[in-house]
Amino acid sequence: MIILGLDPSLSCTGWGVIRTEGSRISHIANGQIKTGVNTPMAQRLADLHSGLAAVIAEFAPDRAAAEEVFVNKNPQSTLKLAQARGAILASCGAAGLGVNEHAARKVKKAVVGTGSAEKSQVQAMLRVLLPGAQIAGADAADALAVAIADAHLAPR
């Protein structure tokens, strides 16, 4: 099974693709879709949608997984995250992909063993679980963690 993990963000959405065969997990690819801060909102959302559509077309995942939305202290930030997430979910829906959602604490627990793990601990565990994988950045690492968590948490 091929799983696409997503870490939605308006400025830099991370994505990671893994393959699962039984309990074995292997890295296929990862990257980030960046949008310009000074670009109009509608164009930024279109860029996220088309960027993810290209990833889906290239790697043909069987399903996707995304981190659940959390509420920021700043309502504007929460709204922007929700809009980015909408563009991401629309890309998956247009491709006929189901999307599982996982809370950040569950992702950390599935990957590291504790829900209060730091980002550095998650990234260290990714190096163990996906040896040799060149990770494109922090957002791509988060997306790979979501994909791995989905492999463990979602029904097969």
The annotated binding site is made up of 7, 67, 139
Active site residue 150: no
Annotated catalytic residue within 7, 21, 47, 118 = 7
**Which residues fall in the annotated binding site for Mg(2+)?**
7, 67, 139
Q: What are residue 156's DSSP bridge partners?
A: none
Of 50, 47, 54, nearest to 4 by C-alpha is 54
From the CA atom positions of the chain, what is the Rg in Å?
15
Annotated catalytic residue within 47, 58, 62, 67 = 67
Active site residue 7: yes
Instruction: Spell out the long-range contacts of 45-51 with Cβ–Cβ below 8 A and sequence spacing 24 or more.
Output: 45/83, 45/84, 45/86, 45/87, 46/87, 48/10, 48/13, 48/84, 48/87, 48/88, 48/91, 49/87, 49/88, 49/90, 49/91, 51/13
Please, what is the Cα angle at 64 between 124 and 66, to 5 degrees?
60
Annotated catalytic residue within 47, 62, 101, 139 = 139
Q: What are residue 102's DSSP bridge partners?
A: 67
Active site residue 62: no
Active site residues: 7, 67, 139
